[in-house]
Structure 1
Amino acid sequence: MKKILLLLLLSFIAKPDYTSFGFGVGTSGDVDTIAIGYEQVDSKFRFVTAGGRSEVFDVSFGVYSAGLDYAFGNFNEGSLYAGLTYSRVAIGDVAESDTLLGVGYGKLSGEGLDYNLEVDSEGDVSTNITQWTEDGLGIGVGVVFTEYDEAITLSLQYQF
């Protein structure tokens, strides 16, 4: 069922403006995370998915997420958007998942400076900035403010 849902989400973007594959690291208090991700963006939709590994003290666990955003205007020029994000954390045989709604404003063109600011249904605020080079390399930094902590992320993406 999950594979069918993933294929349906991917089919929203038949001919994306850009597709990228990335690598990121993040830290939030004592939790360190390393992840890989995939993103497709066109003027109306953004699909993003990521998977990674987090560690806190001596405990290691898997983290996974997938999201779909819809722009009310045009992502290439900057637009208000709404989206849905599914995330899952797994430690051994125990897993916890969550689905959040989000609203934000972002410019996602894959050229020059891209930016994003979002508030989700739990009240968490996230923002990130990515500078794209002419060779399709994106260097990004992000910050997430939650009720109890904040997280800082650094990412490196490549368009293909």
Structure 2
Amino acid sequence: RTLGSRETLWNVTLENEKQLGRNYTLAMWTRPDSYWFGNITSPGDLLSKEHSSTTVWTQDCNTANGLNDKSAILGRQAAGIMFKAYSRFYNTKTITTYIKDRMANAERYLLAVAQEAQLQVERLNFWSLPNMDGMLLASGKVCFIVLYWCPASGIKRPNMCPNDSKNKRR
């Protein structure tokens, strides 16, 4: 569902580009349950890098041996490929053996799509994309899913969600 929603929004973006007569240089996806601890890295810094148009930037933790799919910043050409991952998955004419052999989970599937398209993949430290999965409790406080906590972030272990089966994994 998440990949499908991303693709739908990307198609709207393409229509906006036509109406504006110009293309975006970067695109971003993030999940609706992301809790942000600060600002993202400077888009100007990303755009100044060689091959920025064909680069996918994601967090360097919780990769599940693929791309951390929680939040990503994508150069324009990379966005055109990665935001189409949903229809590619269901189109038997475009799904290749290379991808089929590597899609044990969403993270690995996305990495295989990027690799097959020869996109650059760069892992950013936590503070360049400072977010984690959060949940708003009835008390008004935010708790975090321990499974998605990035220990390398330097954040003291935040308030973890109670009675969550995912919290028992770390």
* TM-score in terms of structure 2 length: 0.26
- Bigger strand share: 1
**Higher RCO (C-alpha 8 Å, min separation 6):** 2
- Bigger helix share: 2
